[in-house]
Amino acid sequence: MEARDALMERVRYVGSANHKLRAGDYGFQPSHNPRPSKSPCDAVRAVLRAEASALMMNGIRRGMVSRFADGALPKYIWAIDDAGDVFEAKAKPERETDYHGYRLGDDEFELRAYLVKEWKRRCR
């Protein structure tokens, strides 16, 4: 738990306009490089920064992070909201302590199923 607490102190959720249908609702300028192949985090409902940050921290608390070396940070953090939607936060390459997130889409069924199973197991 100490390592998880330390990780929570080091990282922050900053978001990205690339994963927003309505970037202005989040205080972002519309992206000059939108990614139509990516799942927008607000496709099903608005997930504002405070909620996204709380989801990310809850993912860390449950150890739902990708592998990372000592002194480094995980590339991915996963969390599931109360409605059962699976979200992935990813470190920004230019600043690895900053994360942006998105809802995993239907095309990632196997990963979503695995993460839901792990989330439930770690909630006991």
Q: Are residues 11 and 68 in contact, defined by beta-carbon separation less than 8 angstroms?
A: no
Indicate the average pLDDT of the chain. Answer: 85
pLDDT (0 to 100) of residue 23:
65
- Domain residues for the domain of 101 are 2-122
pLDDT (0 to 100) of residue 45:
80
pLDDT (0 to 100) of residue 107:
86
Nearest to 27 by CA among 14, 36, 41: 14
Chain centroid offset of residue 57 CA = 9
What pLDDT, in 10s, does the model give residues 69-106? 878 899 999 999 999 999 999 998 888 899 988 888 88
SS3 109: helix
Tell me the torsion sign for CA atoms 49, 52, 58, 60: negative
Number of domains making up the chain = 1
* More confident position, 114 or 41: 114
pTM, to two decimals: 0.85
